[in-house]
């Protein structure tokens, strides 16, 4: 565990010459995670650690790209498949579960490395607590979140919950909010400028060693997430995201300016050219090039999200909620669980 992050220091060592390098000081170990801390050669503003699109962007990133990145880093995760999640690969789980909550897979890779070093480790140490989700500083990990797939799901879901609260103008579960000063565990007095920064401190309430102000030198904290994110962002050709945004609600990739009414909270989100969605709004954006709204069902007496399959009381036939809120014939839904726009989000038989 002590050497997992040391590859990031190689350029500095090589610049010193080709002779043997004496380790004059013992490596500094993060007192919370047990990981080796990096040299703080770059420091960030603790009030603005990350931009919102750093956490919600990257929706164009594919499983193949993440798999290649893991292989590039000789990661144990490059060959891992989670039996609890249908033997899906680590890359597939990182991409699918992150995108299910409109969280960036690139951010998730940085989070995994900060919490467990698994992205750059060739061993399975810390696999069960890969993202540190459900593992508070003051106690052990919650058993319900044990396992790699569960850790990715937990981390992405919790972060989305924080952002949902912040989008609605509320503070997060632990009281973090944009423009409101709050003390971290370092302690430091932080006034988040971005929602992403407030969400980071909700997840890990430490500034750590890589911020300009106040941080501790014995803890990586939330500032380390920014360090690793920036390094990973430039270490692989992830693309630009101009092709669109993947939406779990519609089960498809929307083009830029495409819109979807989320199945989780019924709020409208529009795809940006960065590959991220806009913050949720109750009104449908006026510039949507294509949209997936909820569909009104007379059979159920209410509206339901895109991809929902319903057996109509009028003709006993199955239909699926599709693009532009239109019901489409879905005769195979009762046997295959899917219709013309993909797997049924929910199924309602007579």
- In 104-249, the DSSP E strands lie at 182-183, 189-190, 245-247
CA distance to 26, 116, 301, per residue, from 256 (Å): 50, 35, 33
Strand 291-292 to 259-261 pairing: parallel
- Structure confidence by residue, pLDDT tens digits, 116-158: 999 999 999 999 999 999 887 677 778 888 999 999 999 999 9
CA distance to 32, 216, 224, 225, 252, per residue, from 1 (Å): 13, 21, 17, 18, 39
Cα–Cα dist 348/112, whole Å? 38
The residues spanned by each domain of the chain are: 6-235, 249-348
Whether the model pTM is above 0.85: no
Average confidence (pLDDT) per 10 residues, the chain, 350 residues? 32 32 62 80 92 92 96 98 97 96 96 96 94 82 90 97 94 98 97 97 96 89 96 90 82 91 94 85 94 97 97 96 96 93 94
- Structure confidence by residue, pLDDT tens digits, 316-336: 999 999 999 999 999 999 999
Q: Are the C-beta atoms of residues 104 and 56 closer than 8 Å to each other?
A: yes
Q: Please name which of 113, 133, 37, 99 lies closest in space to residue 69, comparing C-alpha atoms.
A: 113
């Amino acid at each position: 565990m002590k050497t997992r992050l040391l590859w990031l220091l190689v350029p500095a060592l090589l610049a010193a010459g080709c002779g043997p390098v004496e380790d004059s000081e013992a490596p500094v170990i993060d007192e919370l995670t047990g990981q080796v801390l990096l040299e703080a050669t770059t420091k960030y503003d603790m009030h603005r650690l990350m931009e919102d699109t750093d956490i919600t962007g990257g929706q164009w990133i594919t499983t193949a790209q993440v798999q290649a990145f893991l292989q590039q880093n000789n990661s144990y995760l490059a060959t891992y498949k989670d039996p609890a999640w249908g033997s899906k690969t680590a890359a597939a789980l990182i991409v699918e579960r992150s995108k299910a909550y409109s969280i960036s897979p690139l951010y998730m890779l940085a989070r995994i490395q900060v919490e467990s070093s698994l992205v750059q480790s060739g061993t399975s140490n810390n696999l069960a607590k890969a993202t540190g989700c459900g593992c508070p500083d003051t106690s052990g990990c919650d058993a319900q979140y044990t396992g790699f797939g569960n850790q990715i799901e937990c981390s992405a879901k919790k972060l989305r919950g924080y952002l949902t609260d912040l989008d609605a103008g509320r503070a997060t579960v632990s009281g973090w909010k944009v423009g409101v000063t709050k003390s971290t565990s370092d302690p430091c007095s932080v006034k988040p400028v971005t929602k992403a920064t407030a969400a980071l401190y909700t997840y890990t309430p430490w500034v750590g060693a890589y911020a300009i102000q106040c941080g501790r030198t014995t803890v990586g904290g939330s500032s380390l997430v920014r360090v690793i994110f920036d390094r990973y962002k430039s270490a692989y050709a992830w693309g630009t995201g101009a092709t669109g945004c993947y939406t779990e609600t519609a089960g498809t990739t929307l083009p830029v300016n495409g819109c979807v009414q989320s199945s989780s909270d019924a709020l409208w989100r529009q795809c940006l050219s960065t590959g991220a969605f806009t913050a949720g709004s109750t009104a449908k954006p006026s510039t949507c090039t294509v949209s997936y709204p909820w569909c009104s069902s007379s059979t159920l007496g209410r509206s339901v999200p895109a991809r929902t399959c319903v057996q109509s009381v009028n003709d006993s036939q199955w239909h699926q909620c599709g693009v532009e809120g239109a019901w489409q014939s879905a005769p195979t839904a009762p046997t295959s669980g899917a219709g013309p726009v993909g797997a049924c989000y929910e199924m309602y038989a007579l």
